[in-house]
Amino acid sequence: MEQRFIVVTEQEARFNTLSEAVRRLGVSVWLHWNSDVLVQLIGSMGASAVFIEFTEERATQAADLADKLLAVYPRLWIVGFAQRADSQLIIEAMRAGARDFVELGASPEIICRSLKQALEQSTRMPAQASGRMISLLGARPGVGATTAAVHLALLVKQEVLPDDPVLLLDFGYPTGDAALYLDTRVNFNFCDAVRSLRRLDHALLNTAFAHHKSGLSLLSLPQNLAELREIAPADAMTLLSLLKSYFKLIVVDLGGFAGTDLLLYALGVSDSTLLVSEQGIPSIFSARQLLGSFQERGVSTERIGLLTGKMDERIEMSSKQLAQHLQLPWVGDLPLRSERMIACANQGRLLLDLFPNDPYVEVLRAMALRECGRQGAPRLPPNGALGRLREWFKA
Ligand SMILES: Nc1ncnc2c1ncn2[C@@H]1O[C@H](COP(=O)(O)OP(=O)(O)OP(=O)(O)O)[C@@H](O)[C@H]1O
Ligand SMILES: [Mg+2]
């Protein structure tokens, strides 16, 4: 895969010199000193290295930035650079956690060689436990996003990754639907987790996070959504990225939580996104509006997959046509199972419990296996990180 680098400097000429020198190794993106955006982009781009310029005037700012990024991505490969290497600057950079330092005055071959060595070294380091995040969005209320997210997360935990930590992030609105489906009490919510960011570790995950009897972890939004306004957006973003290093797989029910920053962050760090839409015109209309609103906010929608919800063969529109209307790649059909869903609701049980081989469950079982890289079937296409990036810059 093509490597991606981020270069942080105020000077376009310096960005050009550096990106030209490392062109053979990958693509570089130029950014200014905005640590919140950086934290967000590193996650969504999968950047291999971040170059930070160290100048006398900005040495402290550069060190602070390196520090912040490393707090979120402890294994991030940070490279300091300067027009002329001054030993004081190199020491500052190394103290701040930079793994290497390059001098722009050096020849491009030297810069390129030193980055290549650094990258080789970084791949020899133990791989970062990087989990996969799958988000489910509902085109409109009631299309079945929560039911699908709950089943997908449970199937992964019970059948595919029983020994690994799996999380269901319940961002659906009204809050806590997934917890209700799973009959699990959640006392510790997303905002509590954000506030505990600095002390987040395995012990806290095991004790504070709610757990379904299968072992599936569960984190919901607070009942009072006003609490969301009290947390720093960068902290929320950081938490989402950090959760990916603790959990092997995270399923996010984005439900009806459209248009908010949190949803955009979640989309940014998701490895794949599924939009659940029914075949009818109202659902198509809402889906289009939702996709349009993402584009307006600078989020690329080209790689969102379509999951047909409540698929009814009697309706003339096929899922292929639906995919065409929405211009999304088709990923699967969740069949309409009204009778059984009602039977489950009456007993307060899940379809997976009562009818483990129901065709609806089978669709999500196959997806659970695929998403975990089992069965050799290709995964969903990754979100178009670079496309999204371009969109962001255009915005
Ligand atoms: N494939 C299906 N066939 C029949 N009924 C279904 C199907 N999927 C979900 N349902 C039912 O539709 C209703 C809404 O489902 P669900 O809560 O999963 O939707 P949602 O998209 O999360 O809705 P909301 O926007 O309210 O969060 C529930 O009563 C559920 O049992
Ligand atoms: Mg829901």
- pLDDT exceeds cutoff 50 at 390: no
**Closest Cα to residue 93, out of 121, 51, 125, 128?**
51
Distance from the CA of 274 to the center of ligand 2, in angstroms?
14
- Give percent of the chain above pLDDT 70: 90
The pLDDT of residue 125 is 41
The pLDDT of residue 7 is 92
Over the stretch 31-89, which tens digit does the pLDDT of each residue have? Answer: 888 777 787 778 777 787 899 999 988 889 999 999 888 887 777 888 899 988 777 88
Q: Where are the alpha helices (DSSP H) in the chain?
A: 12-21, 35-45, 59-72, 87-95, 108-124, 145-155, 177-181, 190-195, 202-208, 233-246, 261-269, 281-296, 319-326, 338-347, 351-354, 359-371, 385-394
**Closest Cα to residue 87, out of 56, 129, 52?**
56
Ligand 1 pocket check: which of 146, 182, 286, 339 to mutate, most ligand atoms within 8 Å of Cβ? 146
The pLDDT of residue 269 is 78
Counting every residue, how long is the chain?
395
- Per-domain residue ranges for the chain? 3-124, 132-394
Surrounding residues of ion ligand 2, Cβ less than 5 A: 146, 172, 177, 255
User: Mean pLDDT, to the nearest integer, of 4-19?
Assistant: 90
Place of tokens 């060595």: 117
Over the stretch 268-294, which tens digit does the pLDDT of each residue have? Answer: 778 899 999 999 999 999 999 999 988
Distance from the CA of 131 to the center of ligand 1, in angstroms?
27
Residue 345 beta carbon below 6 angstroms from any ligand 1 atom: yes
Higher pLDDT, 373 or 331: 331
- pLDDT exceeds cutoff 90 at 395: no
CA 82 to chain centre: 33
pTM: 0.71
Q: Which atom, in ligand 1's list, is nearest to the CA of 344?
A: 31
Strands 132-138 and 305-311: unpaired
Cis ω on the peptide bond leading into residue 174 (within 30° of 0)? yes
Place of tokens 């981020």: 6
Alpha-carbon span 311 to 220, nearest angstrom: 28
Place of tokens 């100048």: 55
Ligand 1 pocket check: which of 137, 147, 310, 351 to mutate, most ligand atoms within 8 Å of Cβ? 147
Question: At 234, is the pLDDT very low, low, confident or very high (cuts 50, 70, 90)?
Answer: low
Cβ density class 113-131: b for 16+ within 10 Å, e for less: ebbeebbeeeeeeeeeeeb
Over the stretch 291-322, which tens digit does the pLDDT of each residue have? Answer: 998 888 777 787 799 999 999 999 999 999 99
Quick check: do 3-124 and 132-394 share a fold? Answer: yes
Strands 77-82 and 49-53: parallel
Please give the mean pLDDT across all residues of the chain: 84
Question: At 2, is the pLDDT very low, low, confident or very high (cuts 50, 70, 90)?
Answer: low
| DSSP-assigned states of every residue in 113-124 | HHHHHHHHHHHH
Give the 3-state secondary structure of residue 173: coil
Question: At 98, is the pLDDT very low, low, confident or very high (cuts 50, 70, 90)?
Answer: confident
Over the stretch 320-372, which tens digit does the pLDDT of each residue have? Answer: 999 999 999 999 999 999 999 999 999 999 999 999 999 999 999 999 999 99
CA dihedral 134, 139, 144, 147 (to 10 degrees): 20
Distance from the CA of 59 to the center of ligand 1, in angstroms?
54
Residue 145 in tokens: 């996003």
**276: alpha, beta or left, given left = phi > 0 and alpha = psi -120 to 50?**
beta
Higher pLDDT, 259 or 100: 100
Alpha-carbon span 265 to 383, nearest angstrom: 13
The pLDDT of residue 115 is 80
Does 132-394 carry CATH code 3.40.190.10?
Answer: no
Alpha-carbon span 5 to 7, nearest angstrom: 7
The pLDDT of residue 36 is 72
The pLDDT of residue 263 is 81
> What is the CATH superfamily name and number for domain 3-124?
Response regulator (3.40.50.2300)
The amino acid that residue 109 corresponds to is: E
Residue 310 in tokens: 């409540």
User: Mean pLDDT, to the nearest integer, of 242-260?
Assistant: 82
Residue 334 beta carbon below 6 angstroms from any ligand 1 atom: yes
Alpha-carbon span 134 to 121, nearest angstrom: 30
Alpha-carbon span 262 to 285, nearest angstrom: 23
Distance from the CA of 145 to the center of ligand 2, in angstroms?
6
User: Mean pLDDT, to the nearest integer, of 132-147?
Assistant: 94
- pLDDT exceeds cutoff 50 at 377: no
Q: Which ligand is nearest to the CA of 309?
A: 1
Most confident residue range from 17-26, 197-206, 309-318, 381-390:
309-318
**Closest Cα to residue 148, out of 295, 312, 360, 293?**
360
**Cβ-proximal residues to 328 (8 Å cutoff; 6+ apart), any chain:** 275, 291, 301, 304, 305, 306
Place of tokens 């020491």: 91
**Which residue CA neighbors atom 16 of ligand 1 most closely?**
144
**205: alpha, beta or left, given left = phi > 0 and alpha = psi -120 to 50?**
alpha
Give the 3-state secondary structure of residue 349: coil
